[in-house]
């Protein structure tokens, strides 16, 4: 399936049903279809051939997202650009991914104007909401084009090239095929509850997880309610107003939601599935979310194997007697039905149940490789498996536990310590909102465990008392030797904590 097939499937279930909604205004499935025909014709008139790359740079916006389907109808390849990127990263993506045309919102006009002289491959620019001296407006670009059905064949199955969301280095272009997205969609529909015509609320950027989750919603003719900017109060209001059934938030935003005064479970009764993922979550805060929000559902994936490497549906968060399965909340769920996964050692041997090693996966969910980067592709697919870079284990019941990123393991006093285990112990403290654990060079220990913690609003943290709290849970070897209290943690554009930035700041200060 191509992206247009999800839209057209939804339209077949009710062309006049709302498809994309924002600020109280609806675009029906038929209206999005008609717009996609015109966008495809506009791309063809601009000389964009099948297989060429078309980028979109915009915040959450229905028209910008509708353009994804026009790109697909033209047989072209969508390159989503994170609206929080800096200019240098956007320039790297547009050039390195061979983008021929860029659709962008006027708020990014100064950035686009600054980088375009250095992008000879970029043949055309279109501004989605304004006429600019160096780019026609979207309306003028589409002028004279009819909205009769129009579609071109693709040259291969390449559907999109997102950039890796890593915290270091330049992004790599992940080649995701129609088969990858179809597999992800099938797993979503078979693994989570869907009753009736779903209503999906997208607060997070549509360039990432929040966007690809729209495709399974469309297959059921569902409505996608889009938020401009993250606002927890508005988020809660929209759930009640539109009787939202499905949504997705990363853990950091879920913590904000739990601390928001407007949170009221009685007004969240429409929710069938509240997805969380993209970063580790505190088991104690997740238990709180189960009690105060309702049907939480975990997903684990990465750009190279989107969303659904493992899944934990709402019901799996509970024991048979209805109590919360606390011991299971630290897991990433069970390996998905259409995914093969294992735990591998450094020599390429698969390890038995309970043994720790790198999480590896294979199957139709896994990318086709990194765009024009055969060396990185070969490294990621060594021994015939995709290497996630995550350390973990699979227990006897088939639940996957992620214990660290391979590069973040700390060796202190001859012992291997996984930072996530320490972070989970820290997050269990009632005063801790979020935290990060790193290792810094130490003459005595080789590496000493250092924790940086962010307090919950209105809370004070006593470092000695917090260290004692952690020691009581996981022992002295894994207890941080140094605890720093910061008002906030440095984060990437998608909300992941930037451990390299923390390490650099602490190293500079201490001279390590």
Give 82 or 311, the one with higher predicted confidence.
311
- Number of Cβ within 10 Å of residue 407's Cβ equals 10
pLDDT digits (tens, 9 = 90+) for 48-58: 999 999 999 99
- Region of 190 (left: φ > 0; alpha: ψ -120 to 50; beta: rest) is alpha
230-234, 250-254, 330-334: segment of lowest average pLDDT: 250-254
Start-to-end Cα distance in the chain? 52
All domains of the chain in start order, with CATH: 27-174 (3.40.50.12780), 179-405 (3.40.50.12780), 409-510 (3.30.300.30)
Name the band, by pLDDT with cuts 50, 70 and 90, for residue 72: very high
Q: Give Cβ neighbours of residue 47 (< 8 Å, ≥ 6 apart).
A: 123, 124
Name the band, by pLDDT with cuts 50, 70 and 90, for residue 27: very high
pLDDT digits (tens, 9 = 90+) for 427-463: 999 999 999 999 888 877 878 999 999 999 889 999 9
Give the per-residue pLDDT at 168: 44
**Segment 365-390 mean pLDDT:** 96
- Percent of the chain residues past pLDDT 70, beyond the cut: 98
Give the per-residue pLDDT at 278: 75
Give the per-residue pLDDT at 119: 96
**Segment 218-244 mean pLDDT:** 96
Burial label, 169 (beta-carbon count in 10 A; 0-12, 13-18, 19+): exposed
Give 411 or 506, the one with higher predicted confidence.
506
Task: Report the distance separating Cα 333 and Cα 236, nearest Å.
Answer: 27
Say yes or no to pLDDT of 494 above 50: yes
Give the per-residue pLDDT at 46: 98
Q: Give Cβ neighbours of residue 417 (< 8 Å, ≥ 6 apart).
A: 409, 410, 411, 439, 449, 477, 478
pLDDT digits (tens, 9 = 90+) for 238-282: 999 999 999 999 888 898 899 999 999 889 999 999 999 877 788
CA 11 to chain centre: 27
**Segment 345-350 mean pLDDT:** 95
Name the band, by pLDDT with cuts 50, 70 and 90, for residue 165: low
Helix (H) or strand (E) holding 441: strand 432-442
**Segment 291-295 mean pLDDT:** 95
Longest dimension (CA), the chain: 74
Give the per-residue pLDDT at 169: 57
Q: What is the mean pLDDT of the chain?
A: 92
Give the per-residue pLDDT at 178: 97
Give the per-residue pLDDT at 82: 86
Say yes or no to pLDDT of 167 above 50: no
- Number of Cβ within 10 Å of residue 168's Cβ equals 10
């Amino acid at each position: 399936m191509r992206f247009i097939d999800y839209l057209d499937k939804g339209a077949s279930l009710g062309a006049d049903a709302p498809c994309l909604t924002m600020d109280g205004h609806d675009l029906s499935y038929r209206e999005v279809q008609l717009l996609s025909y015109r966008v495809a014709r506009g791309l063809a008139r601009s000389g964009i051939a099948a297989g060429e790359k078309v980028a979109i740079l915009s915040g959450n916006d229905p028209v910008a997202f509708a353009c994804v389907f026009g790109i697909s109808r033209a047989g072209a390849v969508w390159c989503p650009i994170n609206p929080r990127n800096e200019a240098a990263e956007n320039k790297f993506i547009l050039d390195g991914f061979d983008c021929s045309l860029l659709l962008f919102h006027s708020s990014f006009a100064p950035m686009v104007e600054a980088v375009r002289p250095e992008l000879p491959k970029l043949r055309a620019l279109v501004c989605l909401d304004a006429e600019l001296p160096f780019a026609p407006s979207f309306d003028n670009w589409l002028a004279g084009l009819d909205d009769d059905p129009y579609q071109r064949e693709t040259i291969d199955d390449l559907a999109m090239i997102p950039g890796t969301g890593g915290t270091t280095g330049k992004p790599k272009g992940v080649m995701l095929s129609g088969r990858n997205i179809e597999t992800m969609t099938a797993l979503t529909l078979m693994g989570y509850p869907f009753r009736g015509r779903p209503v999906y609320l997208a607060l997070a950027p549509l360039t990432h997880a929040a966007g690809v989750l729209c495709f399974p919603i469309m297959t059921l003719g569902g409505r996608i309610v889009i938020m401009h900017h993250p606002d927890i109060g508005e988020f809660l209001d929209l759930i009640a107003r539109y009787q939202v059934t499905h949504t997705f938030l990363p853990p950091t935003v879920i913590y904000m939601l739990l601390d928001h005064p407007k949170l009221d479970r009685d007004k969240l009764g429409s929710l069938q599935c509240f997805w969380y993922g993209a970063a580790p979550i505190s088991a104690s805060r997740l238990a709180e979310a189960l009690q105060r929000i309702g049907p939480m559902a975990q997903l684990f994936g990465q750009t190279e194997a989107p969303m659904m490497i493992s899944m934990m549906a709402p019901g799996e968060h509970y024991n048979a007697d209805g109590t919360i399965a606390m011991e299971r909340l630290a897991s990433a769920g069970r390996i998905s039905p259409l995914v093969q996964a294992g735990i591998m050692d450094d020599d390429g041997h698969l390890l038995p149940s309970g043994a720790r090693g790198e999480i590896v996966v294979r199957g139709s969910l896994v990318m086709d490789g990194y765009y024009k980067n055969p060396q990185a592709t070969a490294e990621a697919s060594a021994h015939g498996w995709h290497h996630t870079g995550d350390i973990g284990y699979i227990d006897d019941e088939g639940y996957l536990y992620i214990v660290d990123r391979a590069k973040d393991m700390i060796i202190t006093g001859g012992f291997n310590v996984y930072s996530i285990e320490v972070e989970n112990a820290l997050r269990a403290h009632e005063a801790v909102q979020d935290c990060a654990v790193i290792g810094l060079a130490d003459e005595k220990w080789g590496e000493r465990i250092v924790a940086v913690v962010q307090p919950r609003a209105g809370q004070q943290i006593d470092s000695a008392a917090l260290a004692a709290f952690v020691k009581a849970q996981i022992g002295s070897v894994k207890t941080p030797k140094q605890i720093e209290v910061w008002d906030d943690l440095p984060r990437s554009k998608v909300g992941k904590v930037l451990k390299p930035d923390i390490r650099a700041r602490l190293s500079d200060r201490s001279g390590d």
